[in-house]
Structure 1
Amino acid sequence: MTVQRTRRGIDVSDNQKVIDWGKVKAAGVAFAVLRSVRGSGKTDYQFHNNLAGVRAQGIPFDVYKYSYGTTPEKQKTEAQQVVDLLKSCGVEDCTVWWDMEDKTLRQLGKEKLTALIKVAKVIIEAAGYEFGIYCNVDWYKNVLDPTAFSCRFWVARYPSKKEMQLEDTPNDKYKPQITQELFGWQYSSTGRVDGISTSVDLDLIYEDLEQNEAPKDYSTPYAEPTYTLYRGRLAQKVEYVKWLQWHLIKVGVLKSHTAEGKSNLDGSFGKRTEAALVAFQTAHKETYSTKEPDKKCGKKTRAALIAAVKAL
């Protein structure tokens, strides 16, 4: 049986001024998406403070960039600015959300707009980051060509303009219905969260919780995931990632430590974990239904990992 659970979060910029991230964490915020670079090319004025805050509080985070680039050269510049900022701050693994809202881009047409977004996507992914698209429902349906992208979408649709508290639940009938994987729903721009003095955008992301069957004569020091894990998924449980890493180490596709002596059993789903997962899936075709390994640790992959460890 599968049950869907939501996690509540926010996206912020210097428009929210100085944020008390301790209060934000205590209020129940489970993730944050931080603006990275302003339209001028300068770093968001509160980015460094916000990054330090989410890191100190252990709040999972991604970043976003509101795009103005109307030419390939401008898109390259924007993407490289984001990459340079993340690298300078030691951010190794996160998703960069490409925010598509500006009216100058709307006028370009689907074909040209698709080509421009792909310019940014190539640079972001080449730097080792995941790439996703943020837009509202109107852009998704009428401006973009969603079929041209295999990435996840973060979609805005506001059921109400009224002020909402973090714990308020939007009416599910307004949830965006899209054909791609929906990362999350930005459902309010008038949210109120303790620790933030201004209104703030409120977001939901979704987890499909699965009922796992406990295997016989088998034990692991970590709890088995109850939803699909993959690199770039925000707010996935550290213990679940450690479960995956423990199994990958056991079956020999992931080394226990890096060449620098850092443990690979760290609960962070980064490039090394993803590469090891691909290696395991490549040897176990039953774990995915796509042409190539899907890089996701879902129910079939977990079952194969358990069987492989039990056979040792």
Structure 2
Amino acid sequence: MRAILGVLVLLALGSCSRPQLEPVTVETQQSALLQAEVARLVTYPRFGDFDPYEWESRKPQTYPIHGIDVSRWQADIDWNAAKRAGVSFAFFKATEGGDLKDPKFDNHRLGARAAGVPWAAYHYYYFCRSAEEQARWFIRNVPRGADLPHVLDMEWTPRSKTCTKRPSGAKVRSEARKFLAILQAHYDRRPIIYTTVDFYKDTGIGQVGGTEFWLRSVAGHPSEVYPGGRWTFWQYTGTGEVPGVEGEVDINVFRGGPEAWVRWRDRIGG
């Protein structure tokens, strides 16, 4: 019996001397995954510009996360090269009005997906068709599975050959809300609104709540051009130069840092 007690005492002393391991929690696992995703990002890319603007205030290069938006005007893109250079996201034109589909949409979408570039699609809105009709057209042509929320592109269309209507701000906001609601019900994520300086001022589109904004401003920081405006993405040039893309391309930044980007990106997509 004494021998057995001695062994038990030794075992107890040995167990007391061992370091206690911290328990692995869901929070620590999530933090590790987040840091791993952040480490894979290419931040603060130095893209070129065919017609650069001399930024006097906060420069877009001070933001770490950059991406592009493309349409039929961009030829085949080397998405692997673009990603290596620092393209962290991409938006593709998918539809226009109620009867036009961008002929390069599927090619861009599949190429970006194969290279692991997070993507979503945008719809170019015309005020000669109802919000319901245009939303149905978008849904018909854009499959579920996007990594990011889709986009409603609202701006004036003075050069259109078929529709140059300029409805009141109240009408614009009402149509926007209808379109957003239909897409949210289908894709389970609220779309973003993209717009331009004149449209924003003329229509009060910034009053639409419950959504995020992507603002175009190629000659000034959004805080100057859209005083008090909310934004998640800023399109800062339409003449950008990005590896893997032939010719000019729109370049954008995400408002937050790398960790904020990963958290935002990984919310439920469409």
Normalising by the smaller structure, the TM-score range is 0.5 to 0.7
**Is contact 1:69–1:78 with CA below 8 Å preserved after alignment?**
no
Indicate the SS of the match to 1:94.
coil
Match of 2:155 in 1: 101
Give the conservation status (yes or no) of the 8 Å contact 2:65–2:261. Answer: no
CA drift of 1:202 comes to: 0.8
- Percent pairwise identity: 26
1:193 partner amino acid: V
State the match for 1:250 in structure 2. none
Pairwise CA distance, 1:86: 2.5
Query: Taking structure 1 as the reference length, what is the TM-score of the superposition?
Result: 0.58
Unpaired segments ≥5 residues, structure 2: 1-61, 158-162
Q: Which has the larger radius of gyration?
A: 2
What TM-score, normalized to structure 2? 0.66
Residue pair 1:155, 1:176 contacting (<8 A) in 2 also? no
Aligned mates of 1:203, 1:175 — CA distance in 2 = 17
User: Which residue does the alignment assign to 2:243?
Assistant: 194
Matches within 5 A, 1:210-225: none
The one of the two structures with greater contact order (alpha-carbon pairs below 8 A, sep at least 6) is 2
* 1:55 Cα deviation after fit: 0.7
Q: Is 1:51 aligned to 2:109, yes or no?
A: yes
Matched to 2:179, the amino acid is: A
Structure 1: 5+ residue stretches without partners: 160-170, 210-225, 237-267, 272-312
Distance 1:51 1:149, change over 3 A: same
Cα–Cα, structure 1 residues 100 and 204, in superposed 2: closer, same or farther, change >3 Å? same
Alignment of 1:1-312 (within 5 A): 5-39=63-97, 41-71=99-129, 74-87=130-143, 90-91=144-145, 94-103=148-157, 107-127=166-186, 128-159=188-219, 172=221, 176-208=225-257, 226-227=259-260, 233=264, 236=265, 268-270=266-268
State the one-letter code of the partner of 1:152: E
**Separation in structure 1 between the aligned mates of residue 78 and residue 177 of structure 2, nearest angstrom:** 36
**Could you tell me which residue of structure 1 aligns to residue 25 of structure 2?**
none
Aligned length: 202
The amino acid of 2:101's aligned partner reads: T
Deviations 1:211-263 (A, max 9, x none): xxxxxxxxxxxxxxx43876xx3xx3xxxxxxxxxxxxxxxxxxxxxxxxxxx
CA RMSD between the two structures: 2.6
TM-superposed deviation, 1:270: 1.9
